[in-house]
Amino acid sequence: MKSFDAIVIGGGQAGPFLAARMVEKGMKVALIERKFLGGTCVNAGCMPTKTLVASARAAHVARSGAVYGVNIPGEIAIDMKVVRARAEAVTMNARNGLIGWFAGMDGMTVIYGHARFEDPKTVSVNGETLTAPRIFLNVGARPVIPDLPGINDIDYLTSTSIIHLDTLPRHLAVIGGSYIGLEFAQMYRRFGAEVSVIEHGPKLASREDEDISDAIADVLRSEGIDIHTGVSDIAFARSSDGITVATDSARIDASHVLIATGRKPNTDDLGLDAAGIITDKHGYITVDDKLATNVEGIWALGDCNGHGAFTHTSYNDFEIAAANLLDGDDRNLSSRIPAYALYIDPPLGRVGMTEKQARASGRKIMISTRPMSRVGRANERGETKGFMKVIADAETKKILGAAILGIEGDEVIHGIIDAMNAGTTYPALQWSVPIHPTVSELIPTLLGDLKPV
């Protein structure tokens, strides 16, 4: 049996950085990864997909050049092999960077294999047994494949496999109208495929307010994406030239099907029962406000604990654990203000409560909205789709949440994220002097238009 000061299972966005901090403190650490360092973000998420989004936007801008007085003769052609190779290069650069970083650390042992608990202090991997007083789980999540009629009879894609396509689908049917599905839908439409989005719920991006969801649908429809919501029945069958997707309201002749109906944690094959670790009904590991599980000496970080399915929340889990365990700090998961983005174009930046959540909280609230068509920078760039929205507490004057669907919305939202984390009241933020011409310069104006509801 090999002994370590700590064992980290999973090489995503929390575990490796925590392992590196512990090594800096002179600890002996084993990092176990079953496949690739970097987790979902590096290998099948943020980095490759946003690289693909950039290629798709380049195609869209090229096609729109005449509007700006830039005439490009001939048809805009997409070389999917180059598109794929560029995304893979970004992934490999990041992955190899991690490999090189860890290889140079004394005290770090990287083991590739499938780890399972033998007891609360012991794990087995590749026929070896390892033990440590501290064990950290950062095992991530994977796509959920729903049990739909005919699904096992077709060759479907997931968010992991679609990034390896080097040919252009004739018609891509996206099953699921949430964040992952919508990004791929617009991306492949801009590459030149016909695209249909099929969503069981009544609206796209179901966690958003209805006005945001409607605006997202308008953006996608304006680019020729076919959207079906409120679909109760879906079935698949092979056809002579692809896949038939039959719903209760439509019949779609697709060449490819992307299943984008959510993700589930990679916790079902870790031997958690042997360690006595509790999970919820969805398989997420139950943690307290310090990210500790019910078993002393074991913590769960990142997607597998169900407290955020994003790279930035996973990295923040590392920050919380490192601050509390290594720096003598007292940081809590509950103090994190939720924030995220949807990377369609224009993007959606989100922070804090939705209007629906704010109304349900019983607070006296104020709301302000402003269309992007009234933003000078958006008009100068010719990108006026979407709108800004902010919600505030009428009594405390604190900002409760905001949504910016529009040009650079994923960047502009950070002004409000920072203000909320600092506890700044909206009247104080109104007196900032932003740079002109920017999209962010409209934040004080947006706040100045807050009205009670």
Contact 301, 319 (CB under 8 A): no
Q: Which CATH number fits domain 2-142+264-335: 3.30.750.210, 3.90.1150.10, 3.50.50.60, 3.40.718.10?
A: 3.50.50.60
Domains 151-261 and 339-452 share a fold: no
On the 0-12 / 13-18 / 19+ scale of CB atoms within 10 A, 12 is buried
Which residue from 146, 138, 121 is spatially nearest to 266, judged by alpha carbons?
138
- Bond prior to 133 in cis (omega within 30° of 0): no
Q: Write the pLDDT tens digit of every residue in 306-349.
A: 998 899 999 999 999 999 999 999 999 999 999 999 999 999 99
Kindly report the CA angle at 216 between 213 and 221, in degrees rounded to 5? 125
The length of the chain is 453
The CATH number of the domain covering residues in 151-261: 3.50.50.60
3 state SS of 222: helix
Q: How much is the pLDDT for 270? A: 98
Give catalytic residues, as residue numbers: 436
In angstroms, the CA 420 to CA 418 distance is 5
Q: How much is the pLDDT for 309? A: 87
What's the pTM? Answer: 0.96
Q: How much is the pLDDT for 127? A: 96
Give CATH superfamily name and number for 339-452.
FAD/NAD-linked reductase, C-terminal dimerisation domain (3.30.390.30)
Domain residue limits, the chain: 2-142+264-335, 151-261, 339-452
Collect the ranges in the chain with pLDDT lower than 70: none
